[in-house]
Structure 1
Amino acid sequence: MEKHIIFIAILTVCMALCSCNKNTYCDTELPTSKDVPNTTMATENPYRSQYLVDSITWYDSPDNHKETKYIYDEDNNLISRVITGQILEAGLIRDVRYETEFEYSNGLVSSIIEDGRVTTRIYYDNQDRITKMEHYGNDVYFHYLNGKVVSIYYQGKDVFSNGFFVYDEHGDAVKYVSFNPDLNFLGEPIDGTCHPREISFTYDQGVKPNFGLDYLFVYQPIPGMGTVPAYARELSLSNLTSGCGSTWTYTYNELGLPVTIRERWNGDTPVNDPHYTIYYKKK
């Protein structure tokens, strides 16, 4: 079947402040709402909604391992994530314990508290979509088109770059293309200059683990999964298998739920076999 590719514009603050459809610095036409049809949702595994992740272990060696426990309230809302274990750093072994708590407002996560300190506040519109995140004192804004995040603007960051995500028919972000102009000696963009950069992502069409937080794309519930492809992973409906030079492989149980994950960063071959094992509980 021919693969349908859906282009989603990712602009910076220029999109929020302007109504034009052409970038001033990079001569690229930007899609409008009529160019962005709704994607077809991937077929939902009937068991996914019945099972929540109970715990995840990460094992590298007897001296380098962690367990993450997920705690839910009576309404199956995730209220706490606790990581314990040992890590090996510079030849030294030390015990670790990290706790993340989630506060809710109107049934949605409104604050994330890490080790007793609020690190993230999340704001929604009247359709329960995330529009703003305050993270460690920095503001991040999100804009939508046909139900998809179409812009991510970091306050205080470079406002001259722009780009777009490419989604496939499964609703997975398979590519991000950004455009950046040259700057003059004052740090201002030079008209007519444009340098594209592409990052591609692949997926296996398997269902993702269920933490009851599908709407919370600003948070990665599995610890240690990296930050570079985080938005592509969390905005997509399937499991990410490659991106930014790294790969992730999965095995699934008889219900079609992922039970192991192996990650390899930038082609590295680890001495051991570091991997995640996922354990579920029925609601």
Structure 2
Amino acid sequence: MKKRILLLYLFFGTILSLTLSSCNSNDDGQATVEEKPRFLVDKIYNYDHELMADYFYNSNNQLMKRSTYDPQNYPGQKIQDYEFEYENNRISLIKSINYTHPQFSHDIKIIYDAQGRITADETYQYGNRINRRDYKYYDNGKIMSIVFLNDIENYFMDYQNTDNIMQVKLLMKGGDEIANTEYREIYRNFVYDNHPKPYFGTASVFQFEPMPGYGEEALLEKNLSKNNLIEFVNGSKWIHTYNENGYPETIEVKWKDVETEKPIMYRIIYREITTD
């Protein structure tokens, strides 16, 4: 029963996210030099060393496909593919193909400006647009805020002079003693380590969670930050161990108020990037 509750938690977290560049900069506008990654994520296994995800790259080390497996509930069966299409050497379309729940398959179109920054994304199902997000930037090139479906600007990023999103302010309608037409402020705070994140060959694209079954509790904050997210303050925690190169080797997820019979653990296998 606990396992079923966890699966429903992760599954509906992914669906909820549907409705909701290349160098780093400090908040003072000074660019920081980002080292080129030496390793790509090759495969991910669970606590019992069963395959959860397999990653496929082109000759330029760009991610072309991620295949996902659920050995506990669908043994020996591929449950989902993410496929990536490129234009001008950048990801232009993300195709999510769900084999166990095909009604939740969808496409995400990535929109860039003349500077190569991601300015918007649009989600489609059965050819119909169901969501759009527009992004505003600080002068230093970091994403400042998000506008959902051409509505108000209601999701604000605060880096606090770091390369990680330390706090987010959300404006939400309604609530206790607040009229449904008024907005209240909600703050989300995050903690990071000082290690490099696993690299998946997606460059600056942050619109999908590259880890399998990871949930999307803090997808934007995690993917837009330089280091590994280890805590959503007063929420979930991610416990990392690291390999000899400083990259995460295992990640154990501690979802808030969720208990499981076995640890929720990801074992990450890397391949070294070779140059001719």
The SS at the match of 1:228 is: coil
1:98 and 1:182 map into 2 onto residues whose CA distance is 36
2:106 and 2:112 map into 1 onto residues whose CA distance is 18
The letter of the residue matching 1:98 is Q
Q: State the TM-score, normalized to the length of structure 1.
A: 0.72
Query: CA distance change for structure 1 residues 98 and 109 in 2, over 3 Å: closer, same or farther?
Result: same
1:74 and 1:135 map into 2 onto residues whose CA distance is 28
Q: Which runs of 5+ in 2 are unaligned?
A: 1-26, 99-104
1:188 and 1:266 map into 2 onto residues whose CA distance is 29
1:168-224 CA-to-partner distances (Å, cap 9, x unmatched) read 3331111112344659xxx8735xxx5321111110121100112230011221122
Alpha-carbon contact 2:207-2:220 (below 8 Å) kept: yes
The SS at the match of 2:194 is: strand
1:243-278 CA-to-partner distances (Å, cap 9, x unmatched) read 161000111111111111010110434221220011
Alpha-carbon contact 2:67-2:78 (below 8 Å) kept: no
User: Could you say which structure has the larger radius of gyration?
Assistant: 1
1:39 and 1:233 map into 2 onto residues whose CA distance is 22
Matched, 1:86 2:90: no
The SS at the match of 2:122 is: strand
Greater RCO, 1 or 2 (C-alpha within 8 Å, sep 6+):
1
- In structure 2, which of residues 135, 140, 144 is the aligned counterpart of residue 142 of structure 1? 135
- In structure 2, which of residues 78, 83, 100 is the aligned counterpart of residue 101 of structure 1? 83
Matches within 5 A, 1:16-35: none
Matches within 5 A, 1:14-93: 37-38=28-29, 41=32, 49-59=37-47, 65-88=50-73
Q: Which runs of 5+ in 1 are unaligned?
A: 1-35
The letter of the residue matching 2:223 is E
2:54 and 2:30 map into 1 onto residues whose CA distance is 34
Alpha-carbon contact 2:193-2:227 (below 8 Å) kept: yes
Alpha-carbon contact 1:68-1:84 (below 8 Å) kept: yes
How many residue pairs match? The answer is 231
- Over the residues paired in the alignment, what is the CA RMSD in angstroms? 2.7
Q: State the TM-score, normalized to the length of structure 2.
A: 0.74
1:120 and 1:107 map into 2 onto residues whose CA distance is 17
The share of aligned pairs that are identical, in percent, is 29
- In structure 2, which of residues 209, 233, 250 is the aligned counterpart of residue 220 of structure 1? 209
Query: CA distance change for structure 1 residues 181 and 120 in 2, over 3 Å: closer, same or farther?
Result: closer
- In structure 1, which of residues 190, 193, 205 is the aligned counterpart of residue 194 of structure 2? 205
Query: CA distance change for structure 1 residues 66 and 174 in 2, over 3 Å: closer, same or farther?
Result: same
Equivalent in the alignment of 1:237:
226
1:282 and 1:213 map into 2 onto residues whose CA distance is 16
Moved segments of 4+, more than 6 Å: none
Matches within 5 A, 1:106-255: 106-115=88-97, 119-136=107-124, 137=129, 138-146=131-139, 147-155=141-149, 159=151, 162=154, 164-180=156-172, 189=181, 195-243=184-232, 245-255=235-245
**More strand per residue: 1 or 2?**
1
2:247 and 2:180 map into 1 onto residues whose CA distance is 49
1:75-101 CA-to-partner distances (Å, cap 9, x unmatched) read 111111112342339xxx683432221
The letter of the residue matching 2:201 is G
Alpha-carbon contact 1:161-1:178 (below 8 Å) kept: no
